[in-house]
Every structure is written in structure tokens, then in C-alpha cells.
Structure 1
Amino acid sequence: MRITTRKTVFGGLAALGVAALLAGCAQAPTSGESSGSAAPVASDFLPCMVSDAGGFNDNSFNQIGLAGLTDAAKKLGVKEIHVESSSDSDYTPNITNLLDQGCNLIVTVGFNLAAATKEAATANPKVNFAIIDDNSIDLPNVKPIVFDTAQAAFLGGYAAASYSKTGVVGTFGGLPIPPVTIFMDGFADGVKYFNDQKSKDVKVLGWDVASQNGVFTGGFDAGTVAKQTAQGQIDQNADVILPVGGPIYKSAAEAVRDANKGIVLIGVDADLTQTDTANADLFLTSILKGIQPGVEETTTAAAEGKFDNSPFVGTLKNEGVALAPFHDFESKVDPALQGELDTIKAGIIDGSIPVESPSSPK
């Protein structure tokens, strides 16, 4: 594991195409209503973060989560501490390390840190915690930062089906956990909606919504398994692939370049065209989560003594989830596609186009 302290932000990560998430499930509490401990004045406030095993250089949710923390720290004029995990066994000792350093707010990045977060929060009720991509912890000092990414993934699936020349698209995940399968649900349902609207038969490899079964690499590490998984879908004629799980997309990119068949990827969490410029030419679009503004707002509220445990839920309506621009592919997609996506987005927001996933935040 690696421990570092920074005051700078990651350049370019602010341009995620997602507006600040100012709406959650509940309004921020007024003075005296905050649950958890009251934060000290900003000059004494110490915000901290623990990554999951993907690390802070994943070009994805760990990296943009840290950008939110450093953004807030810079604006508050305080330092921050972030600790990188290299495996699941690092989670508890990393949180303990931050507690020992006197952190007032500890943000844990990812569903896999839920058990360690709950244990630490229970034992340390005067310390505030926030956890990204998990809302299973019901404690007054734990705030979930979660996203209904099925909504944005629905748009991504529709776009994938529209773009596909082979009539086959694919998706695979790192682990079969809700923050992963929610993308796959929305993606597959978006393809189905395209088929229904256009009388087409675009096939989805790697995920079955009804059975909730699909293809997973067994972790979030880039490597041989992830590359072989992507290659398997390329071999089945998929020309648009959605890898869901942080760095696994990097291995999919290797498989796509090796194939040299005009295959494209769809990114998740961040706009990977912006965060991974070396592979920018491969991304049709990305399915965005407003992790960066979500962490920034939560950190700022905690510093001001306004911490509360009501879930921070990103949706299309509050711009907490979104579909990134097509960037270099804008001239290559159907000219009518953007207008269709705008109409679908409006329908999802007003409820006339229902988008539901078993993994959607409640």
C-alpha cells in the first residue's frame, strides 16, 4: 500500500461533462440537524480517502474520487491524506492508519470497502465517513454517495446499438456486484429499446438482464484475463464493447488495437476520452458518474459542520449521471442519434420511459 498527501488536483479531470451534483435523496440538514459528529473549523479539518484495489491511477472512479477530495481541500485551504490499497487486505489497515492520523472525514472508494467502512464507523462514531457506490450501511456517521447509472447506461446501450455495423455489441464486468451490474442492466435495456423502436435485432453478449448472469473477469485488474474476455467478444463479432470495472478497460483496448477492425469501446465513470488520451480514439462515448463533484460537495459540507447521512444519489435529472459527448465519433454516428438520445433522456426523467435495475439505489 502507498500513502501520500497532496494539495493539487488532477489536471483535466474536471471536464467530465457532469454538472455539480447538488441534489441527493434529502436536503442538507440545517444547523443543529447534522448526524455524526460536528466538523471542526476548516483550518483544523482533515479529509481523507482510501482507494480500492484499482488504485488512484485507474483513470476511473478512484482517480476522479480523489480529484473531488483534492478540489475540496484546495478550496477549503486544508491538506488531505489519501491512501492507496493494492489488495482487499489493505482496506482495514488503511482506514485504521487514517484514523490514527486524526482524519475528520474518511471517504472510502467502492462497494468492496463496505465491510471495513462499517466496522470502522461503528467503532468510531465521532468520525464521519462517506462511501462511494454502496448504500448498505445505516449509521448516523456514514453517508452513501451512489448513482443510478442504469439511466445513463440505457443511453449508452441505445447509442451502441445505433452505431454497431455488425449487429452485435458486448459487455463484461470485473465482479458481479451492484455498482457493476447496474451498468450492464442499463446497457442491455438500452439496446433492447433501440431494437423495439427500430425493428432491429442487435444482440448483446456478456449479460442477461432476466437471469442477472453474465461475463466477469473476477477482479478489477488489467491483465490477461480481461484482454482474453474482450477478445472472446471480438471473436463473436462484437464491434462495440462496454468493459465495466476500472482498469479492465485498458486490456480491452489492447485487444481492440490488436484486432484492428474498427471496434470501439464505451467507458465508465469518467469521460475516458479526457482521462486516457492515449486511447481517446477508441471511445465512442462514456457513461459518467459524478463522483468528483459528489465527493467535493460531501467534503465541503463536512468541513462546514453540515455532514448528514442522507444518501447522495446521482440521476439524469440532477445531472449526477450522464452520457459523455461522442467527441471524434460525432461525425460518424447517425445524424439523428443525438436528438433521439435527448428525447429518451427526457422520457427517463419524466418517467414515461421506465429504466429499472435490481441494483438501482432505493
Structure 2
Amino acid sequence: MTISTTKKLAGIIAAAGLIIALAGCGSAPDATSTESGDAGGSVIDGFKPCIVSGTGGWEDRSFNELGKKGFDEALAELDVEGVAVASSTSSDFAPNIQSVLDQNCTMVVTVGFDLAAAAAEAAEANPDVQFVSIDDVVDQDFDGETDFPNIKPIIFDTAQAAFLAGYASASYSTAKKVGTFGGKPFPTVTIFMDGFKQGVEYWNEQKSDSVEVLGWDGENGVFADAFSPGQPATNAAQGLVDQGVDVLLPVGGGIYQSAASVIRDSGREIALLGVDADVFETDPSVGDLLLTSILKVIDVGVKETIVSAGHGEFDATPFVGTLENKGVGLAPFHDFDSKVSPDLQGELDEITAGIIDGSIPVKSYLAG
């Protein structure tokens, strides 16, 4: 476990300025649409999409797996072949991107903030190849604009959905202590922690309560330095459980699996929160522990982007997922539905409306 000050890249505020300006751009991907191909006509000759994962691998039951799901669905709809390459370490990023380029890929999807530098370098060297960046705007020169016109960012203001999860967690907690830890102190990780903390604080304001947030104070926090389950994630989770939390939010790929093991070993009733996917659905082995999950529609966004490009309609305008366009959201309470307050869902609906109309501000690196 490491306790770290978040060192956001020097230009992240400049990049956020671009994102704020574009926050209304890009409609939400239509999760029910299966007719994308009809609008675009036949698939363009030689179209070959490829995807490179972050270090969590394709079976992280989180953002890498969601990216791969959307990728596979796009291949099936277009009836084309593609290449998927998993990264084990950050040193794999540039070679893996180059490997798919060497296989004549015409579109390269990179999954995760930490691939941005390698994606930017490859996009500059290959201007005729389309790039899709999941979770990063790719502004490596920090001028407030995506570096190259052949890169489409798909990014998510998950602080909005995490705000709801924080409020729900504070409502559920009887220990009056909730905790969170991240994989690494990337803005795309700490954005969940930011929203979670603000949601707890909003509960305290509205209910005159005093629920504590452990593991993140807005600048410093607990990080496992990994996006896969293992001893570092176990240590991070154990440290928070030992401090008495009864809700735990791990943010980063498969590290929730280590948190789940710690919860089970504790013998206490501690609720787990999932991120990215509805983990109740993607990993039933931890379903009984899950209060809810903070959602990104990564799979649908990836699928729709690839399908559109396959029909010659690539659009580099960033898609920014929000509560308003349903790019982010909160999963059902599932097995916890009978354990939460009967008033909670109505309160969350009101908060959602307030976030959308701006009367309840949620701060993040994407929204100031």
C-alpha cells in the first residue's frame, strides 16, 4: 500500500478546459441500437480495427473487459477481422501499438489513461490511421486540445455517478466510516474518489450527519500501485477495513477482487462498490457483497465508434459521458435493495436531476 499526493500532469487543467467546452458534444451511445450499419452502408475496403489493453488485461471485469466487449461486438456487426493485444506492463504499450500497426490495422483503440503518450506518438507517426482513446483526451502538449485530428477521445465524468454512490454509501453506513482506495493516482482513478467524497459530504450536509471518508482527502490517498488483484491491493483494502469502514470503494480494474477477499476474511458486514461495469452482473462471485456499481458505458461507446468508422463515418469529436447523456450512471442495488433506506432511490433521483440542471455542483478535473 502507498499513500501518495496526486501529481496530476501539469497541463490537466488546460485539457479540462477543452473537455468542459465539449461536455455537451457527442450524444450518448445508444445501448439499444443494432442498426448502425444500415445508416452507413457497406463496410469500407480494408477496414481493420484493433485494440490494445491497459495493464489489467482483458479479464479485469472492468474497463479493459468492457472495451474488449464493445470491440468484439463491433467486429461481429461489421463482419470484419481485428486484432486484440493485452499489455502486461507499461513498457508494453508502445510495442503493442506498433505491433497492431504492423498488422495493417486502420483503427487502433487504446484502453486507459496511461496509454495516452504512446497513442499520441503513434497517431503523429501514422496520420492515416484512426485512433480511439478511452479515458484520456490525449493532450500531451497541454494546450487544451487533442493533439492530432485522427484521435477520438471517449471520456467520462464519473465524479457525477460516484457522487450518487457516495451519498448512497453514507446512507447505508452504520459505522459512520466509509473507505476508498485506487489502483494508481491517475486523474481517471481519483475522479471516482473525488465524486465519492463529495457525495458523502452532501449526505452529511443534508442530514446533519458526520460520516467519515477514509483513503482520500481530495489530494492524498491510498493507492495499491496496481490494477490487478494481489498483495498490494489486499494491503490497501486491509488497512481501511482495520480502521472500521463498512463500505469500501476500490477504483481500478481487478483490485476489487482483493477487496472482496479482505471483506470476507473480516467476518464483518462490509459493503463493496464496483466501478466501470455492473460488477453484480460481470462477477457474480462478489454479487452478495455489492451495494452498487459506478458505471461507464465504455463497451457501447467503443462499439458505436468502430461501427461508424467501419462505414466511413469516423468523427474525432470527443464523447464526454455524463449523467445527462447517460454516459455514466449508478447500477441497481440488486441484493441490497431491501437493505437500503426505502427513501434512498427517490433522494438519488432528485440529486441526479440537481446535478444535471447544475443546482448541485460536482467538481472533478473534467468539470472544474
TM-score category by the smaller chain?
Answer: 0.7 to 0.9
Instruction: Decide whether aligned partners of structure 1 residues 43 and 82 sit closer, same or farther in structure 2, where only a CA change above 3 A counts.
Output: same
Cα deviation, 1:266-286, whole Å, max 9, x if unaligned, reads 000000000011111111000
What residue ranges of structure 2 are gaps of 5+ in the alignment? 1-22, 29-40, 140-145
Q: How far 1:42 moved relative to its partner?
A: 4.0
- Of 261, 266, 269, which residue of structure 2 is paired with 1:262? 269
- Other structure's SS at 1:161 match: helix
Instruction: Name the % identity.
Output: 59
User: Is 1:282 aligned to residue 284 of structure 2?
Assistant: no
| Worse-matched range after superposition: 135-144 or 100-109 | 135-144
Residue number in structure 2 paired with 1:156: 165
Corresponding position of 2:208: 199
Q: Report if aligned partners of 2:156, 2:327 keep a CA contact under 8 Å in 1.
A: yes
2:127 is matched with 125
**What TM-score do you get using the length of structure 2 for normalisation?**
0.86
Of the candidates 57, 60, 64, which is equivalent to residue 59 of structure 2?
57
- Measure how far apart 1:199 and its partner are: 0.5
Is 1:25 matched up with 2:25? yes
How far apart are residue 79 of structure 1 and its match?
A: 1.8
**Aligned-partner Cα distance in 2 for 1:118–1:175:** 21
Match of 1:13 in 2: none
User: 1:113 & 1:219 partners in 2: Cα distance?
Assistant: 15
Local SS of the residue matching 1:305: coil
Contact 2:183 2:251 in 1 (8 A): yes
Distance 1:262 1:43, change over 3 A: farther
Q: Tell me the equivalent position of 1:35.
A: none
Deviation digits for residues 111-148 of structure 1, max 9, x if unmatched?
01011100100000000000110012421000101000
* Within-5 A mapping of 1:252-331: 252-331=259-338
Within the candidate set 106, 109, 113, 2:108 is matched to 106
Quickly say closer, same or farther: Cα 1:185–1:354, change in 2 above 3 A.
same
Q: Aligned-residue CA RMSD in angstroms? A: 1.7
Q: CA deviation at 1:228?
A: 1.3
**Aligned-residue offset at 1:48:** 0.7
- 2-side partners of 1:246 and 1:78: how far apart? 28
Aligned to 1:345: 352
Change (3 A) 1:325 1:192: same
5+ residue gaps, structure 1: 1-22, 29-38
- Normalised by the length of structure 1, the TM-score is 0.88
Compared CA separation, residues 233 and 63, structure 1 to 2 (3 A): same
Alignment check: 8 A CA contact 2:226 2:232 kept = no
For the residues of structure 2 that align with 1:92 and 1:40, how far apart are their CA atoms? 32
Look up the SS of the partner of 2:223 in the other structure: coil
Q: 1:122 to 1:133 in 2, by over 3 A?
A: same
Give structure 1 regions of 4+ aligned residues with deviation exceeding 6 angstroms: none
- Matches of 2:267 and 2:44 in 1, distance apart? 52
- What is the CA-CA distance between 1:242 and the residue it aligns to? 0.3
* CA gap 1:273/1:26 in 2 versus in 1, 3 angstroms: closer
> Which of residues 162, 178, 196 is equivalent to 2:187?
178
Residue 222 of structure 1: how far off its partner (Å): 1.3
One-letter amino acid of the structure 2 residue matched with residue 323 of structure 1 = L
Give the Cα separation in 2 of the matches to 1:271 and 1:278. 13
The answer to whether 1:143 aligns with 2:143 is no
Match of 1:355 among 335, 338, 362: 362
Judge conservation of contact 1:270–1:289 (CA < 8 Å) in 2: yes
Q: Residue 42 of structure 1 contacts residue 76 of structure 1 at CA under 8 Å; is this kept in 2? A: no
Q: CA deviation at 1:262?
A: 0.8
Any idea what the Cα deviations from partners look like across 1:78-121, whole Å, max 9, x if unmatched?
12210011111111111111001111110000001011100100
Q: For residue 220 of structure 2, what is the aligned residue in structure 1?
A: 213
Between the aligned partners of 2:178 and 2:51, the Cα distance in structure 1 is 36
Offset at residue 304 of structure 1 (A): 1.5
Residues in 1 aligned to 2:327 and 2:44: alpha-carbon distance in whole angstroms: 26
Cα drift, residue 221 of structure 1: 2.4
Mapped to 2, the partners of 1:92 and 1:264 lie a distance apart of: 38
Q: 1:86 aligns with which of 68, 79, 88?
A: 88
Given that 1:140 and 1:308 are in contact with CA atoms closer than 8 Å, whether structure 2 keeps it comes out as no
Distance 1:332 1:44 in 2: 53
C-alpha deviation, 1:40, in angstroms:
9.2
